[in-house]
């Protein structure tokens, strides 16, 4: 069973700062099948990154994804006020068929 572990659990940052979020898999994950989502309170998740590094439609270029194998990162270069939210990584391919990390919460410092 593949477990995705995100770190840190919570980050307190100021607008304008650069942040890198980590997602580590317990077994190798194909880059094609690694995605990142943003979720704000009371809203559905929104796809940010698919295929580890491709931005979804309409996602600003301050969001970027990278990584391979067991280590993946989401970087936001210059936090905007609307970026404070919870971020989840997600994989497809192994038991369980689809799984999510536990999330990283970005909060305003």
Partner 1 sequence: QVQLVESGGGVVQPGRSLRLSCAASGFTFTSFAMHWVRQPPGKGLQWVAIISGDGRVAYYADSVKGRFTISRDNSKNTVFLQMNSLKTEDTAVYYCAKDAAGYGSFDFWGQGALVTVSS
Residues near partner 1 (CB under 8 A) are 32-33, 35, 37, 39, 43-47, 50-51, 56, 88, 90-93, 96-103
- Pairwise CA distance, residues 95 & 2, whole Å: 6
CB of 14 to partner 1, least distance (A): 26
Q: Which is nearer to partner 1, 69 or 78 (CB)?
A: 69
Q: Are strands 10-13 and 104-108 parallel, antiparallel or unpaired?
A: parallel
What Å distances lie between residue 27 and 1, 2, 10, 57, CA to CA?
A: 8, 6, 24, 29
CB of 26 to partner 1, least distance (A): 16
CB of 48 to partner 1, least distance (A): 10
Q: Which is nearer to partner 1, 14 or 95 (CB)?
A: 95
Question: Residue 47 burial by CB count (10 A; 0-12/13-18/19+): exposed, middle or buried?
Answer: middle
Q: Which is nearer to partner 1, 17 or 68 (CB)?
A: 68
């Amino acid at each position: 069973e593949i477990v995705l572990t995100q770190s840190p659990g919570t980050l307190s940052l100021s607008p304008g700062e650069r942040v890198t979020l980590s997602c580590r898999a317990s077994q190798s994950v194909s880059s094609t099948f690694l995605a990142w989502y943003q979720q704000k309170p009371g809203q559905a998740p929104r796809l940010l990154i698919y295929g580890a590094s491709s931005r979804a439609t309409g996602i600003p270029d301050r969001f970027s994804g990278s990584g391979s194998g067991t280590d993946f990162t989401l970087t936001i270069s210059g936090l905007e006020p609307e970026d404070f939210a919870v971020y989840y990584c997600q994989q497809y391919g192994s038991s369980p068929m689809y799984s999510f990390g536990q999330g990283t919460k970005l909060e305003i410092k």
